[in-house]
Amino acid sequence: MLHANLKTPLGTAVISGDENGISSISIFDDEREISSIIPDELQEVCQQLQDYFNGKRIDFTFKLNPSGTEFQKRVWQGLLEIPFGKTMSYQELSVKLGDVKAIRAVASANGKNPLWVVVPCHRVIGTDGSLTGYAGGLWRKKWLLDHENPVKQQSLF
């Protein structure tokens, strides 16, 4: 397994993967050493993440290889189908996955998403529009949703 640490506006992203794809991307508050040499297999991921944070990318095209149950993978695939700049409630996602009663299981799988930002669990909100739990912290969720907002406020000054 190969690793790279990348500085982002939200902390240090720790990326893990190999020639079979990216298995995890996590975010940390602490000042981890940023990778000066990025393995070839992780260079595209780092570039696409930088492009995303610089406002030049709205989707990711590298190969994913997360570990999880079949149900978790179904939920994560459902998350990948939420468009950039849009949100969906846990209930809507449960219905989309075919079981309106699976809201808690969907929320649990969402919380175990190993691919921060790339599998956009931050786009899932409460039915009432509230920012519900987020493993990376609600401030990061708010930042990401604001970053992806298609109607960004422009300063007049």
The CB density around residue 124, as the number of other CB atoms within 10 Å, is 26
CA dihedral for 75, 78, 80, 84, sign (positive or negative): negative
Note whether 75 and 82 are within 8 A (CB): no
Residue 121 annotated in active site: yes
Note whether 124 and 96 are within 8 A (CB): no
What is the maximal distance between C-alpha atoms in the chain?
Answer: 51
Torsion over CA of 152, 116, 96 and 142, rounded to 10 degrees?
A: -30
Q: Which of 149, 152, 148, 136 is nearest to 52 (CA)?
A: 148
Return the residue matching tokens 């990348």.
6
Note whether 79 and 116 are within 8 A (CB): no
Which residue in the list 45, 121, 124, 144 is annotated as catalytic?
A: 121
Q: Which residues are catalytic?
A: 121
